[in-house]
Amino acid sequence: MAEFYRSETRSICDKGRRGEQRSPVMALIDGVMVCVSAVVAALMLFTYLVPYLSTRGWLLPVLGLVAPATYVVTVCLMLYWIIRWRWIWASVMIVPVFIGLFYLNLFLRPEFRRDYGATVKGRDIVTVMTYNVRNFFASDGTCSRDSLLAWVRGVAPDILCMQEFTPSTGGGTRELIDSLLAGYHSTPADPRTGCVVYSRYPILRWGYVADTSAIRSLWADLSLTGDTLRVYTNHLHSTQITSADDEFLSPDRFLSDTAREEKMRSIVRRFRDNCIARAAQADTVARAMAQSPYPRIVCGDFNDTPMSSVYHTMSHGVVDAFSEAGKGYSSTYRGFSNMLRIDFVLLSPRYEVLFYDTPDVDYSDHRPVVVKFRKRVN
């Protein structure tokens, strides 16, 4: 009987050794996957450096733009090599996957339970909303002024920051909008910025942050109870990638368009030039914010993702409300398959973030960002 078991064991071992000999097809697949893994791992590691590198072209912003997708591919390749029991390449892919865990809360926060903020109440809690209202044009091109402002009144934010706010374009007169937002103090709306602040708290003073290309930021000092808060609302330079470009980049249109080379060059050129301009604007705004004598809220449409030098510059000294209280995967731009978070609320560390949400309303091509916070108790 013992001899029988020994023979069976030898038979199993022999089969295992024979199984290690890969078929030509699997050898070819593994060879291709080695090349893909090497490229993806290098791209992922380089992507982690993007926020710390100066933007001078289009490649770095694109890497930041597709960072979530690249990370998912990296995880899949890691799992492939683990399943294949190829531990050298599995170890290679584990490195960028592990590093990515430290960046994950910029894009994703596990959602263990639903919380719509109904229990977040208290006299010391402040609600701030930032919203790119697209000149009060909905996604289908119709005027959204009345429905958008009615929805805002229902949320009743204490501080409301709007971008692409030019009433004469699609929203009627400023007086009409002020009447629909009765009970709020407000800053003047300058068409050069397209930014405005409405506040239930008194506005002590306000001003612009200007650079050589355009005025893209407006600030206002608000008198909270026993505190002064400086709010910055920003609309940084757009990528100028239009809905027509978005449609052209779809697989069907791209492959069938006979002028695709010319259109791609146009898209890349605009994307590159505007990324450089946006980075310069972020530097200007960051220098102004560093001189603020008061704690601050930095919000608005940055037109860039969390994996970018623009975000890294703008978020210095403040915390991201999504990283503190967000749930799941957050996106704020309704285009590009709802994958991009380019609208932000960033707060000084002295404030505790209690709630974060991006309601799925279609009054604009952006979603609003709603945040509740309060002053930390020492």
Residue ranges of domains in the chain: 2-102, 112-375
> How far is residue 179's CA from residue 150's CA, in Å, rounded to a whole number?
12
Overall average pLDDT of the 44-71 stretch: 87
Residue identified by tokens 């027509």 is 244
pLDDT number for residue 112: 62
pLDDT number for residue 213: 60
Residue 40 or 246, more confident: 40
pLDDT number for residue 372: 97
Overall average pLDDT of the 204-230 stretch: 86
Overall average pLDDT of the 163-187 stretch: 85
56: DSSP letter? -
pLDDT number for residue 167: 75
pLDDT number for residue 70: 95
Best CATH choice for the domain 112-375 from the list 3.90.550.10, 3.40.50.300, 3.60.10.10, 3.30.465.10: 3.60.10.10
Please check the confidence at residue 294 and state whether its pLDDT lies above 80.
yes
Half-sphere exposure of 190 (CA within 13 A, CB side): 17
Residues 6 or more apart whose CB falls under 8 angstroms from that of 268 comprise 58
Backbone dihedral angles phi then psi of residue 65, each to the nearest 5 degrees: -65, -40
Least confident of 7-11, 262-266, 296-300: 7-11
Residue 193 or 334, more confident: 334
Express each pLDDT in 240-260 by its tens digit: 666 665 665 555 555 555 556
Q: What is the pLDDT confidence band of residue 157, given thresholds at 50, 70 and 90?
A: very high
Please check the confidence at residue 339 and state whether its pLDDT lies above 70.
yes
> How far is residue 182's CA from residue 255's CA, in Å, rounded to a whole number?
52
Please check the confidence at residue 327 and state whether its pLDDT lies above 80.
yes
